[in-house]
Amino acid sequence: MVSNQNQVKENKTAVVNIDDAAGMFMLEHASCRKITYAIEQQAAVRALAISVLSGGATFTLQGDFGKMSLQLRITGIFNVYNVMAAVGAALAEGINPECIQAALEAFVSVPRQV
Protein backbone atom coordinates (compact mmCIF):
# COMPACT_ATOMS: atom_id res chain seq x y z
CA MET A 1 0.00 0.00 0.00
CA VAL A 2 1.35 3.42 -0.99
CA SER A 3 0.86 6.32 1.40
CA ASN A 4 -0.28 9.65 -0.03
CA GLN A 5 0.96 11.55 3.03
CA ASN A 6 4.22 12.60 1.38
CA GLN A 7 2.75 13.41 -2.01
CA VAL A 8 1.87 16.98 -2.89
CA LYS A 9 -0.73 17.63 -5.53
CA GLU A 10 0.52 20.00 -8.20
CA ASN A 11 -1.47 22.81 -9.80
CA LYS A 12 -3.77 23.28 -6.82
CA THR A 13 -6.14 26.22 -6.63
CA ALA A 14 -7.87 27.65 -3.57
CA VAL A 15 -11.34 29.02 -4.40
CA VAL A 16 -12.15 31.41 -1.54
CA ASN A 17 -15.20 33.46 -0.54
CA ILE A 18 -13.72 36.78 0.56
CA ASP A 19 -17.10 38.05 1.80
CA ASP A 20 -16.68 35.45 4.57
CA ALA A 21 -14.65 36.62 7.57
CA ALA A 22 -12.42 33.54 7.34
CA GLY A 23 -11.63 34.16 3.66
CA MET A 24 -8.64 36.45 4.23
CA PHE A 25 -7.18 33.98 6.75
CA MET A 26 -7.51 31.21 4.16
CA LEU A 27 -5.88 33.35 1.48
CA GLU A 28 -2.96 34.21 3.75
CA HIS A 29 -2.32 30.54 4.45
CA ALA A 30 -2.85 29.09 0.99
CA SER A 31 0.39 28.45 -0.84
CA CYS A 32 -1.15 27.82 -4.23
CA ARG A 33 -3.00 29.64 -6.99
CA LYS A 34 -6.00 31.55 -5.62
CA ILE A 35 -9.39 32.45 -7.11
CA THR A 36 -11.53 34.74 -4.99
CA TYR A 37 -15.28 35.23 -5.20
CA ALA A 38 -17.62 37.74 -3.58
CA ILE A 39 -20.66 39.95 -3.80
CA GLU A 40 -19.53 42.76 -1.48
CA GLN A 41 -15.77 42.79 -2.20
CA GLN A 42 -13.73 43.14 -5.38
CA ALA A 43 -12.89 39.57 -6.42
CA ALA A 44 -11.80 37.42 -9.35
CA VAL A 45 -15.42 36.22 -9.67
CA ARG A 46 -18.01 38.75 -8.57
CA ALA A 47 -21.82 38.60 -8.65
CA LEU A 48 -23.62 41.78 -9.72
CA ALA A 49 -27.22 42.84 -10.40
CA ILE A 50 -28.58 40.02 -8.23
CA SER A 51 -32.30 39.28 -8.21
CA VAL A 52 -33.39 36.37 -6.02
CA LEU A 53 -37.06 35.40 -6.29
CA SER A 54 -39.04 32.34 -5.25
CA GLY A 55 -38.72 30.79 -8.71
CA GLY A 56 -35.01 31.32 -9.22
CA ALA A 57 -32.22 33.84 -9.40
CA THR A 58 -30.74 36.07 -12.05
CA PHE A 59 -27.38 37.76 -11.78
CA THR A 60 -24.25 38.57 -13.71
CA LEU A 61 -20.85 37.15 -12.91
CA GLN A 62 -17.88 39.28 -13.78
CA GLY A 63 -14.24 38.25 -13.95
CA ASP A 64 -11.22 37.83 -16.19
CA PHE A 65 -13.45 35.66 -18.38
CA GLY A 66 -15.70 38.66 -19.07
CA LYS A 67 -19.33 38.75 -18.04
CA MET A 68 -21.68 35.79 -17.64
CA SER A 69 -25.40 36.57 -17.35
CA LEU A 70 -27.20 33.76 -15.55
CA GLN A 71 -30.87 32.86 -15.21
CA LEU A 72 -31.05 29.99 -12.74
CA ARG A 73 -33.88 27.82 -11.45
CA ILE A 74 -32.45 27.73 -7.94
CA THR A 75 -33.08 30.42 -5.37
CA GLY A 76 -31.47 31.90 -2.29
CA ILE A 77 -28.47 34.16 -1.85
CA PHE A 78 -26.53 31.15 -0.51
CA ASN A 79 -26.92 29.60 -3.96
CA VAL A 80 -25.42 32.70 -5.57
CA TYR A 81 -22.36 32.01 -3.40
CA ASN A 82 -22.49 28.29 -4.26
CA VAL A 83 -22.57 29.15 -7.96
CA MET A 84 -19.60 31.49 -7.63
CA ALA A 85 -17.62 28.75 -5.86
CA ALA A 86 -18.55 26.24 -8.58
CA VAL A 87 -17.59 28.69 -11.31
CA GLY A 88 -14.24 29.33 -9.61
CA ALA A 89 -13.55 25.60 -9.37
CA ALA A 90 -14.58 25.03 -13.00
CA LEU A 91 -12.38 27.90 -14.20
CA ALA A 92 -9.48 26.47 -12.18
CA GLU A 93 -9.95 23.21 -14.09
CA GLY A 94 -9.84 25.06 -17.42
CA ILE A 95 -13.50 24.63 -18.31
CA ASN A 96 -14.78 27.04 -20.94
CA PRO A 97 -17.07 29.79 -19.53
CA GLU A 98 -19.74 29.01 -22.13
CA CYS A 99 -19.85 25.38 -20.96
CA ILE A 100 -20.05 26.53 -17.33
CA GLN A 101 -22.97 28.84 -18.14
CA ALA A 102 -24.86 26.15 -20.06
CA ALA A 103 -24.45 23.63 -17.23
CA LEU A 104 -25.60 26.11 -14.59
CA GLU A 105 -28.65 27.19 -16.55
CA ALA A 106 -29.64 23.55 -17.17
CA PHE A 107 -29.40 22.70 -13.47
CA VAL A 108 -32.72 22.23 -11.67
CA SER A 109 -31.94 20.66 -8.29
CA VAL A 110 -30.02 17.99 -6.47
CA PRO A 111 -31.96 14.69 -6.56
CA ARG A 112 -33.68 13.83 -3.27
CA GLN A 113 -32.67 10.71 -1.39
CA VAL A 114 -35.63 8.54 -0.42
Q: Which domains does the chain have, with CATH numbers?
A: 13-106 (3.40.1190.10)
Q: What span, in angstroms and rounded, lies between the C-alpha atoms of 24 and 65?
A: 23
Over 60: is that where the pLDDT of 2 sits? no
pLDDT per residue as tens digits for the range 36-87: 999 999 999 999 999 999 999 999 999 999 999 999 999 999 999 999 999 9
User: Residues, the chain, total?
Assistant: 114
Q: Residue 98: pLDDT band by 50, 70, 90 thresholds? A: very high
Q: What span, in angstroms and rounded, lies between the C-alpha atoms of 104 and 87?
A: 9
Q: What span, in angstroms and rounded, lies between the C-alpha atoms of 90 and 100?
A: 7
Instruction: Give SS3 for 88.
Output: helix
Q: Is 1 exposed, middle or buried (0-12, 13-18, 19+ CB in 10 A)?
A: exposed
Instruction: Give SS3 for 75.
Output: coil
pTM for this predicted structure: 0.87
Q: What span, in angstroms and rounded, lies between the C-alpha atoms of 106 and 61?
A: 17
